[in-house]
């Protein structure tokens, strides 16, 4: 386990979370070949590794986000969202202290629904060739949300990073009825508050 620098405050750690994940999970980059094709030329530091290093350094080993626990599980959640949607953008709108060792961030998350999203997140719509899938395809969702950070001052790490998003409002706007929204999420791999449904 990495030791977190003791001078880091919960404010610094929380704002860094938004900086590192503003575009979601960043896929590790492949090594580029040089023009001479003799030797691969190194690319910049892999962002995914930077994200994991951050989580392992500034989160407790059992950091919790709903039913997900641990730094690797948090990164896997980001990976699921990012690899199955296009152009993920996670934005901090406001950060407030709500307790001695707790912060709540107001967020905006946007992402585009693609064919990959339909196949992997809403597979029941694809199998049925649902007209709802057609309504959703290539639509950009803009979702309001929040992240609660709970700080463990004894070790200088976050012990809870609990994220919630409101998928109901943009989905209702796109689909037009609560019945259709309920049908879309009935067998989806995401819940209306943005949690991943375990298989």
Q: In this structure, are residues 62 and 70 in contact, taking their beta carbons and an 8 Å threshold?
A: yes
Q: What is the mean pLDDT of residues 15-23?
A: 96
Tokens of 116: 């990959």
Which pLDDT band holds residue 45 (cuts at 50, 70, 90)? Answer: low
Question: Could you tell me if 102 and 151 are in contact, meaning their C-beta atoms sit under 8 angstroms apart?
Answer: yes
Q: Which domains does the chain have, with CATH numbers?
A: 10-27+39-186 (3.10.450.50)
What are the strands of the beta sheet with 86-99, ordered from one edge? 68-69, 59-65, 157-165, 140-152, 102-112, 86-99
DSSP 8-state secondary structure symbol assigned to residue 34: P
Lowest mean pLDDT among 3-17, 40-54, 183-197: 40-54
Q: What's the pLDDT score for residue 199?
A: 62
The tokens of 170 are what? 């943009």
pLDDT digits 0-9 by tens, 83-120: 999 999 999 999 999 999 999 999 999 999 999 999 99
pTM summary value: 0.84
Distance CA 189, CA 186 (A): 9
The residue that leads in pLDDT, 32 or 85, is 85
- How buried is residue 195: exposed, middle or buried, by Cβ count under 10 Å (0-12/13-18/19+)? middle
Give percent of the chain with pLDDT exceeding 90: 79
Strand-pair category, 59-65 with 157-165: parallel
């Amino acid at each position: 386990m990495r030791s977190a620098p003791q001078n880091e405050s919960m404010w610094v750690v929380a704002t860094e979370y938004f900086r590192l994940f503003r575009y979601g999970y960043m896929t590790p980059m492949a090594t580029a070949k040089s023009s001479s094709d003799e030797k691969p030329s190194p690319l910049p530091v892999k962002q995914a590794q930077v994200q994991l290093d951050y989580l392992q350094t500034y989160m407790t080993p059992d950091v919790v986000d709903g039913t997900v626990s641990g730094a690797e599980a948090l990164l896997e959640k980001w990976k699921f969202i990012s690899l199955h949607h296009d152009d993920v953008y996670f934005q901090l709108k406001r950060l407030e202290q709500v307790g001695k060792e707790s912060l709540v961030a107001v967020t905006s998350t946007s992402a585009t629904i693609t064919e990959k999203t339909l196949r992997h997140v809403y597979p029941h719509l694809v199998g049925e060739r649902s007209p709802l899938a057609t309504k959703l395809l290539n639509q950009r969702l803009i979702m309001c949300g929040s992240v609660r950070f709970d700080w463990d001052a004894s070790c200088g790490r976050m012990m809870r990073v609990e994220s919630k998003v409101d998928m109901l409002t943009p989905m209702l706007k796109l689909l037009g009825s609560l019945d259709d929204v309920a049908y879309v999420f009935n067998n989806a791999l995401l819940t209306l508050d943005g949690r991943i449904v375990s298989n």
